[in-house]
Amino acid sequence: MGGYPINLDITDRFCVVVGGGGVAVRKVEGLLVAGARVRVISPRVADQISIWAEQGAVELIRRPFAEHDVSGAFMVFAATDDPSVQDYISTCAVAAGALLNRADTRGRSDFYLPAACTRGDLLITVSTGGASPALAGQIRRRLEQTFGVEYALLVHLMGQIRQAIPAGGEAQPDNRQLYFSILDSPVLTQLRNDQWAELEKTLREMFARRDRQRPPCCKHQGRRASFCEKQL
């Protein structure tokens, strides 16, 4: 069973990582990128965790885990290599009402971290439900070869267009058709090849075509022109 897919906003949420090795480094890195407040607990930690602590990015407690360490935590990551410690962390996390993720295969995790391919605001994840992280990682690497940095630019562009166009009402079907037309156009290739003049021409033609197909009461040419001048 693959579980329920969800993207959590953990900005400024208190998360605890117990462990200081390579697995813990990966957990901490993902949490920092997502904007969480991170506490790391371990007598010994990898150099990268020490660097983050010196920079003030994480709270580092250099000692063995204690039950009160997870008080108030939203998420707890058990990332040690000691099965008995893992079990103790799990018991404490459940008692504290935190979401639990175990790095080992013993016991139950509340959630698994999927392999992720990130391109700007585009996030593509792959999960095997914890059965085979190696397979999930292999699929992620294939995705990274397919989806280049141009997709980050495309997501940003589509977001700007969506903000610039009035939503709802009679214009909504035309807007939806415009979005799909852009995605089916050479825009992605033009972004990939840094063809900015061609990109501007393509978008202007599409906006003009959409406006010609709409009744006068639905036109918003001023908004369209303003977008083209400011964003392209």
Q: Are residues 216 and 137 in the same domain?
A: no
121 with 155: CB under 8 angstroms? yes
pLDDT for the residue 124: 95
Coil vs helix vs strand at 125: strand
pLDDT for the residue 2: 65
pLDDT for the residue 224: 40
- Residue 1 counted as domain residue: no
pLDDT for the residue 171: 60
pLDDT band at 128 (very low <50, low <70, confident <90, very high): confident
The 10s digit of each residue's pLDDT in 86-110 is 999 999 999 999 999 999 877 789 9
pLDDT for the residue 217: 41
CA–CA distance, 11 with 184 (Å, rounded to integer): 35
Q: How many CB atoms lie within 10 A of CB 145?
A: 9
Place of tokens 């392209």: 232
The 10s digit of each residue's pLDDT in 165-185 is 876 655 677 788 889 999 999
74 with 10: CB under 8 angstroms? yes
- Residue 84 counted as domain residue: yes
For residue 54, give both structure tokens. Answer: 């010196």
Q: Are residues 140 and 200 in the same domain?
A: no
Across the range 118-143, mean pLDDT stands at: 92
Q: Are residues 119 and 202 in the same domain?
A: no
pLDDT band at 11 (very low <50, low <70, confident <90, very high): very high
Which among 168, 180, 169 is positioned nearest to 210, based on CA atoms?
180
pLDDT for the residue 169: 56
The 10s digit of each residue's pLDDT in 32-57 is 999 999 999 999 999 999 999 999 99
pLDDT for the residue 164: 84
Q: Are residues 125 and 213 in the same domain?
A: no
Specify burial of residue 85 (Cβ count, 10 A radius: 0-12, 13-18, 19+).
middle
pLDDT for the residue 88: 97
- Residue 5 counted as domain residue: no
Q: Which string of DSSP letters, residue by residue, matches 179-219?
A: HHHHHTSTHHHHHHTT-HHHHHHHHHHHHHHHHHTS-GGG-
Across the range 186-215, mean pLDDT stands at: 88
The CATH number of the domain holding residue 125 is 3.30.160
Helices vs strands, H then E, count in the chain:
9, 7
Q: Which domain holds residue 212?
A: 150-231
The CATH number of the domain holding residue 107 is 3.40.50.720
Q: Are residues 198 and 159 in the same domain?
A: yes
